[in-house]
Amino acid sequence: MTPLRQRMPEHLQIRHYSPITTRIYLHVIAEFARYFSKPPDQLDAEHVGRYQLLLIQERGVSQSTYIQTVCALRFFYTHTLNRKLRSSAFHFPDGKEDCR
């Protein structure tokens, strides 16, 4: 297991995320990286935006799946990488402004 892959579940545990949420968030980050064929720490706000469009336009995911994906990406960049992406990089549907 890479150090990056080990850090994220630790950060989720420290913040008392459930085992199910942890599993989903790890899956989201793995899918995000797989889509771009790059390690997730090499992807930036532009990749996040393109991925969000992919989810809506091509994959037609449900609103709840979309929100969970955005929350996982935001957690990864904010807590695991300690990287501040502009808040506008994480688009929530109308009426939803935050995770949790």
Task: Tell me whether residue 43 is exposed, middle or buried, using C-beta atoms within 10 angstroms of its C-beta: 0 to 12, 13 to 18, 19 or more.
Answer: buried
Q: Is 80 exposed, middle or buried (0-12, 13-18, 19+ CB in 10 A)?
A: buried
What are the CA-CA distances from residue 98 to residues 14, 57, 62, 71, 74 (Å)? 20, 22, 17, 8, 10
pLDDT in tens, the chain (100 residues): 577 778 999 999 999 999 999 999 999 999 999 999 999 999 999 999 999 999 999 999 999 999 999 999 999 998 999 888 766 677 777 766 677 6
Is the domain spanning 3-81 CATH 1.10.150.130? The answer is: yes
What integer pLDDT is reported at residue 92 of this predicted model? 77
